[in-house]
Amino acid sequence: MLDALLVDSVVRSIQTGSLYALMAIGLTLTFNVVRLPNFAHAELITIGAYAALLVSMGISTNVPVILLAAFIAAALAAVLSHRLVFRPLERKGSSIYTLMLASFAVGMIFRYILFLIVDTYSLFDKRIQVPVEIWIRSTPLILTNLFFWAVPTSIVLVLLLTLLLRGTGLGREMRALAGNFDLARVMGIRVERVKMLTWFLAGGLAGVAGALWALQTSVNPTMGWLVILSVVAATFLGGMTSFVGTIVAAYIVSFSENTLMQLLNYFLGVDFGFKPAIPFIIILAVLLFRPDGIAALFQSIRKR
């Protein structure tokens, strides 16, 4: 009995953790390069999910096509929010707190626009039209095609992003902006262009994550909002600056929410209703005990 529950929860942990990683990477990217804790990231995820849903209903049920559409839709929404809201605010010299509050507002605007559309065309709690197939079944392990889309796609995208950052001129410029914005500007880097591309990439990744998420659950306008806390917990735990830290943290958060929760329930009888509290507890624990997150832990190990 426990075997089956455990295997099932580990599968879910890996699957959700990969998606968290993809979402958290975009958030870390905007935080570092554009210097904005962007809570509207939640709605970029939702927009990706709805783009995926619409494409699957009307155009194609081919998963790569769905993911591409989700990437583009969310990337455009991200660029739009940058151009219409965040860039004008930055030009006025707004503080990071103002920008963060504005990001809540932007998220809310996106969410209610979605509500409006969803209401008009009755798109509540629809499921994506990609049929679920079981690819591997060796009891108690059951892996569906959705697992094989979510996990490798996330890993490949995170790897590609790392390659872009570490191995190309564009990545070097992005790292420079993250390291020291004013200096990057004095060194002749076209900071506006780099920022815009960062928004495009971060938004696109959030969109793909939303689409992959939508493959395994029903789609509704609050789905991004409901996971954003776990994603923020992962970026905090990851230390806000390092990709590797963020990825490890994403899996830790996901394992705590699924496998750890399962164990707590089995052995101590903790109700599953406590699951949403887990990211809160992680955020609090990080702030109290390891404000620099996992990244600092890595550094102290490397220095030794």
Partner 1 sequence: MNAILTLENVSADLGGMLVINDVSMSIPVGQIVGLIGPNGSGKSTLLNLIGGTLRPLRGSIAFDGREISRLKPDAIFRLGIGRAFQDPALFVNMSVLDNTILPIQGQRGETPWNAPRRHLWVHEEQGNALSAQDALAQVNLDGHTRKLASDLSGGQMKLLEIARSTMGAPRLLLLDEPTAGVAPRLARQIFEQINEMRHTLGLTFLIVEHRLDILFDFADTVYVMHQGGILMHGTPDAVAADRQVREVYIGY
Residues that bind partner 1 (CB under 8 A): 164, 167-173, 175-176, 179-180, 182-191, 197, 200
103 vs 198, which CB is nearer to partner 1?
198
**SS3 annotation, the chain:** CHHHHHHHHHHHHHHHHHHHHHHHHHHHHHHHHHCCCCCCHHHHHHHHHHHHHHHHHHCCCCHHHHHHHHHHHHHHHHHHHHHHHHHHHHHCCCCHHHHHHHHHHHHHHHHHHHHHHHHHCCCCCECCCCCCCEEEEECCEEEEHHHHHHHHHHHHHHHHHHHHHHHCHHHHHHHHHHHCHHHHHHCCCCHHHHHHHHHHHHHHHHHHHHHHHHHCCCECCCHHHHHHHHHHHHHHHHCCCCHHHHHHHHHHHHHHHHHHHHHHHHHHCCCHHHCCHHHHHHHHHHHHHCCCHHHHHHHHHHHC
79 vs 114, which CB is nearer to partner 1?
79
Query: Min. distance of Cβ 96 from partner 1 in angstroms?
Result: 20
Query: Min. distance of Cβ 180 from partner 1 in angstroms?
Result: 6
173 vs 257, which CB is nearer to partner 1?
173
Query: Min. distance of Cβ 185 from partner 1 in angstroms?
Result: 5
197 vs 263, which CB is nearer to partner 1?
197
182 vs 271, which CB is nearer to partner 1?
182
58 vs 188, which CB is nearer to partner 1?
188
Query: Min. distance of Cβ 3 from partner 1 in angstroms?
Result: 44
Query: Min. distance of Cβ 173 from partner 1 in angstroms?
Result: 6
Query: Min. distance of Cβ 165 from partner 1 in angstroms?
Result: 10
